[in-house]
Structure 1
């Protein structure tokens, strides 16, 4: 990661989800990744950076990753991005799992992206990797210049995402990780949806699921 770039992690919500702020100090802009809950807390942290939010990136549509997206998008007048195959998960309470916290909610995205699409946001060139399996439209966001990957609930330290939720698929998930993520350089830092970050090279050597 270059000196001008900073990744800030905040643990939010009832299942301890990692929300990230990706700050580009050179442009004075930032991206919000997976704002799952506690919008006011995230707002306070955004204000502390002094940077301008320009977009929200969702790795997938489960409540614990998308729950605060709309409130933040409305406040800062910015767009929410998600993979095109994840619209159904976002908009179906049975698929976005909000019933787990006793709610009945529909989430949304403004811009639906495709596999291998490159987004130019906040001064970063971000490649989208379609990695279904945890959900039908899960994805990861890769910034090659910074050696950063936001993996959501696709890949964890010595583990992978759960596939026992509706529309989950263990075979799809493992295939996506092997084909999309494992070819990346060893020193790419993986910022996961829960728990601690890891490295691609470490997972290639030590992840028992791969």
Structure 2
């Protein structure tokens, strides 16, 4: 089993959590949700002599997807997102970049689907499609390492907003209950904002569940 090292950085206009999922043996790194601050991220990569393998997007909102294209071009890597998130990525109204007074389109190179297992950087990541915050929102589950990257689906004692375009409260609750609450209690959750948590803690303390 590959040894996982997790590094967390706050990036972009609203301090989104960007995660480096690092293979300690090979120095390969998966970059999750680089929502801006690419110069800082590139500095960290250079300082630690990391080898970027891919950019993983949990969803297409600007605070998660911005910066992905820059990293793709710098390191010659691919961007991954769910197939149902294409329109969110490409529509400035839906990806919310217009909230910043700008109009940006984002793209992915590889569109993944529910249940697909990605073999990247020495890790196996299962794609869990968790619509509700957006139509194509996903979580990435590293079963061997007992880690779940939850994006804006599940937070510590909270859940993602559903009042943005194409959001659905009922879909989000269903996603969390059917896809995430069936995971073991000791799975660590890496959310898109605020602090880390565990599945068991959320099962017992999250008021939305």
Instruction: Give the length in aligned residue pairs.
Output: 209
CA distance in 2, matches of 1:104, 1:97: 9
- What aligned pairs does 1:134-149 form with structure 2 within 5 A after superposition? 134-149=133-148
1:22 and 2:21 are equivalent in the alignment = yes
CA distance in 1, matches of 2:144, 2:189: 14
CA distance in 1, matches of 2:17, 2:141: 17
Report if aligned partners of 2:129, 2:138 keep a CA contact under 8 Å in 1.
Answer: yes
- What aligned pairs does 1:83-122 form with structure 2 within 5 A after superposition? 83-122=82-121
Q: What is aligned with 2:170?
A: 171
Deviations 1:152-201 (A, max 9, x none): 00000000000000000000000000000001111111000000000000
Segment drifting more, 118-127 vs 24-33 = 24-33
RMSD of aligned C-alpha atoms? 1.0
Q: TM-score, normalized by length of structure 2?
A: 0.98
Q: Secondary structure at the match of 1:94?
A: coil
Q: Secondary structure at the match of 1:194?
A: coil
Return the offset for 1:4: 2.7
Return the offset for 1:3: 8.4
CA distance in 2, matches of 1:152, 1:38: 18
1:71 and 2:70 are equivalent in the alignment = yes
Segments of 4+ moved more than 4 angstroms: none
Q: Secondary structure at the match of 1:93?
A: coil
- What aligned pairs does 1:37-52 form with structure 2 within 5 A after superposition? 37-52=36-51
Report if aligned partners of 1:115, 1:129 keep a CA contact under 8 Å in 2.
Answer: yes
Gaps (5+ residues) in structure 1? none
Report if aligned partners of 1:149, 1:188 keep a CA contact under 8 Å in 2.
Answer: yes
Report if aligned partners of 1:25, 1:51 keep a CA contact under 8 Å in 2.
Answer: no
